[in-house]
């Protein structure tokens, strides 16, 4: 049977590294599972490349056991739920702790909870906690409707006129009223905010801007990236558009129904922290069974710029969020080493790390090799790099990237085992 890996993918690896026979000294449990994986019709392709074992196959697809609708919130540079599900299923059992030190939109902790594991996560950006926490304990829809009905939408309020490039004046007034109400009932420093307000804020964050009538704004970039005021003004001029009136209440209810269409996730035992990925003293040593994560990729994703409007709505001072930008391979590798050292402390003996990286700078930098290097000297057995090869780019066509020409065509996951 023909292997699903593209010729281009094979050429990519062959051009980069000399191919050697795979050694047989590595741990056999997880490795054997990967070798025998043929869920989509083919066995795994094995290569030993520049001293690193690679296992290449299509281990999951976006359609495989379609993900729960609760995941469907937008966030820049996030991975699909099928990725953590793959490792959670094979490397943990119900009740185990699964941790993500770069929480992002919360894909790993939410998937862990859906699979009966205990969710744990940290992120330097408090926005991540606001996106994740409500989806681990969703409120009933009728409570969401009741909350929205309790807002005095007719009240007067001062608005930021600069935001009129995104919103109709009436929409901006309603949005500002809702923002003020949410900050009152669910302040950022409250460890147990009003759960209904917490949910409404999470949904509103995901409806702030977008490219369809399902969002509060006029047409703009996809919802995982907010453009600047000046950039939006240019978009409006080019498209000859003005922001239309949007019904904020109905859009929040519509998105809430969509998120909960697969049912309410089981009640989760979760720990979500705001802090650095390399220092989480609140988490007990040896308490974690699996880490599934993906770090910021060098300097290609401008997290602060992308999320400035979400931070405004949430009351977060974006300038106070210390999201590091690593502009050199050495700086990025040093960051990863520090993060892995902390994960080694958190993990039990025999626990695993699945550390996902993608293709950057046209494939000229292989971040998985830097992760492999960063793990040297730490109490890990370096198992392999799994490559989940896809026949299409994950970068949307709106960025002008053609399939199999640019963008990220594969997930690459460095798998480590705590000694």
Q: What is the pLDDT of residues 49-58, one digit of tens each?
A: 889 999 999 9
> How confident is the model over 11-30, as a mean pLDDT?
49
The answer to whether position 82 is within a domain reads yes
In a domain, 311, yes or no: no
Of 259, 289, 315, which closes a domain?
259
Residues forming beta bridges with residue 353, ordered by sequence position: 291, 416
Q: What is the pLDDT of residues 213-261, one digit of tens each?
A: 999 999 998 776 778 999 999 999 999 999 999 999 999 999 999 999 9
Residue identified by tokens 């950022």 is: 188
Please, which pLDDT band fits residue 3 given cuts at 50, 70 and 90? very low
The per-residue DSSP string of 127-147 comes to HHHHHHGGGGSPPPHHHHHHH
Whether pLDDT at 342 is above 50 = yes
In a domain, 319, yes or no: no
* 109 domain residue, yes or no: yes
For residue 28, name the pLDDT band (cuts at 50, 70, 90).
Answer: low
Q: How many CA atoms lie within 13 A of 227 on its CB side?
A: 18
Q: What's the domain range around 223?
A: 139-259
Mean pLDDT on 344-363: 87
User: What domain count does the chain have?
Assistant: 2
Whether 145 is covered by a domain: the verdict is yes
Which H/E stretch holds residue 48? strand 45-49
Do 188 and 255 lie in one domain? The reply is: yes
Domain membership of residue 133 (yes or no) is no
Shared domain for 285 and 397, answered yes or no, is yes
Mean pLDDT highest for which of 115-129, 257-271, 325-339? 115-129
373: left (phi over 0), alpha (psi -120 to 50) or beta: alpha
DSSP 42: S
Q: Can you point out the beta strands (E) in 149-296?
A: 270-274, 288-293
**pLDDT one-digit tens code per residue, 365-374:** 789 999 999 9
The whole-number pLDDT of residue 79 equals: 86
Residues 117 and 164 in one domain: no
Mean pLDDT, rounded, for 375-387? 97
The percent of residues in the chain predicted with pLDDT above 90, rounded, is: 67
pLDDT at 281 over 70: yes
Helix spans in 165-247 (H): 169-185, 195-205, 229-239
Question: How many other C-beta atoms can be found within 10 angstroms of the C-beta atom of residue 172?
Answer: 21
When pLDDT is cut at 50, 70 and 90, the band that residue 393 belongs to is very low
CATH number at residue 86: 3.40.50.150
Same-domain pairing of 197 and 245: yes
Question: Is residue 264, in this structure, part of any structural domain at all?
Answer: no
Task: Please check whether residues 77 and 119 belong to one and the same domain.
Answer: yes
- Is there a single domain that holds both residue 143 and residue 119? no
Single out the residue of 335, 396, 389 nearest to residue 367, CA to CA: 335
DSSP helix/strand/coil, 296: coil
Same domain membership, residue 390 and residue 291 = yes
275 with 384, same domain? yes
Range scoring the smallest mean pLDDT among 82-96, 101-115, 320-334: 320-334
* pLDDT at 277 > cutoff 50: yes
Is residue 172 within 8 Å of residue 189, measured between CB atoms? no
pLDDT class for 191, splitting at 50, 70, 90? confident
Q: What is the pLDDT of residue 415?
A: 98
**Res 396 pLDDT > 60:** no
Both 277 and 176 in one domain: the answer is: no
Residue 400 has pLDDT above 70, yes or no: no
**Residue 310: inside a domain:** no
Predicted pLDDT of residue 267: 75
Same domain, 31 and 76: yes
Residue 314 vs residue 328, higher pLDDT = 314
274 and 251 in one domain? no
pLDDT in the model for residue 204: 97
- Looking at residue 374, its pLDDT comes to 98
Q: What residues pair up with 99 in beta bridges, in sequence order?
A: 120, 291
Residue 64 pLDDT greater than 90, yes or no: no
Q: Identify the weakest region by mean pLDDT among 280-284, 359-363, 375-379.
A: 359-363
Residue finishing a domain among 259, 290, 319:
259
Could you tell me if 70 and 43 lie in one domain? yes
SS3 state at 172 = helix
pLDDT in tens, 166-176: 999 999 999 99
Q: Which of 235, 259, 283 is the last residue of a domain?
A: 259
């Amino acid at each position: 049977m023909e292997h699903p890996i593209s010729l281009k993918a094979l050429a990519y690896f062959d051009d980069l590294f000399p191919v050697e026979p795979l050694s047989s000294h590595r741990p056999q449990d997880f490795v054997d599972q990967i070798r025998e994986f043929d869920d989509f019709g083919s066995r795994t392709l094995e290569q030993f490349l520049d001293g690193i074992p690679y296992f290449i196959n299509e281990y999951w697809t976006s359609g495989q056991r379609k993900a729960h609708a609760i995941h469907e919130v937008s966030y820049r540079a996030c991975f699909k739920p099928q990725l953590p599900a793959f490792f959670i299923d094979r490397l943990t059992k119900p009740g185990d702790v699964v941790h993500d030190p770069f929480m992002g939109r919360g894909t790993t902790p939410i998937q862990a909870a859906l699979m009966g594991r205990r969710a744990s996560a940290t992120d330097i950006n408090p926005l991540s906690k606001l996106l994740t926490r409500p989806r681990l304990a969703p409120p009933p829809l009728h409570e969401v409707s009741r909350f929205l009905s309790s807002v005095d939408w007719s009240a007067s309020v001062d608005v930021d006129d600069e935001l009129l490039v995104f919103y109709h004046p009436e929409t901006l007034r309603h949005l500002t009223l809702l923002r003020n109400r949410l900050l009152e009932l669910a302040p950022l420093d409250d460890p147990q905010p009003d759960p209904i307000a917490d949910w409404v804020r999470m949904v509103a964050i995901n409806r702030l801007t977008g490219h369809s009538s399902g969002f509060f704004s006029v047409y703009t970039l996809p919802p995982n990236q907010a453009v600047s005021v000046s950039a939006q003004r240019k978009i409006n001029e080019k498209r000859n558009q003005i922001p239309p009136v949007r019904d904020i209440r109905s859009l929040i209810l519509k998105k809430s129904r969509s998120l909960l269409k697969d049912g309410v996730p089981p009640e989760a035992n979760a720990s979500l922290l705001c802090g650095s990925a390399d220092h989480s003293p609140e988490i007990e040593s040896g308490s974690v069974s699996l880490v599934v994560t993906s770090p910021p990729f060098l300097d290609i994703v401008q997290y602060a710029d992308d999320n400035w409007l979400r931070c405004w709505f949430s009351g977060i001072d974006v300038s106070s969020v210390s999201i590091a930008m690593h502009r050199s391979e050495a700086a990025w590798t040093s960051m990863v080493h520090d993060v892995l050292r902390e994960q080694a402390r958190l993990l039990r003996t025999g626990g695993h790390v699945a550390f996902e990286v993608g293709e950057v700078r046209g494939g000229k930098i292989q971040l998985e090799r830097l992760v492999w290097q960063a793990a040297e000297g730490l109490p890990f057995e370096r198992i392999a790099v799994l490559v989940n090869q896809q026949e299409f780019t994950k970068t949307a066509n709106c960025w002008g990237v053609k399939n199999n020409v640019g963008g990220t065509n594969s997930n690459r996951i460095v798998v480590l085992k705590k000694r």
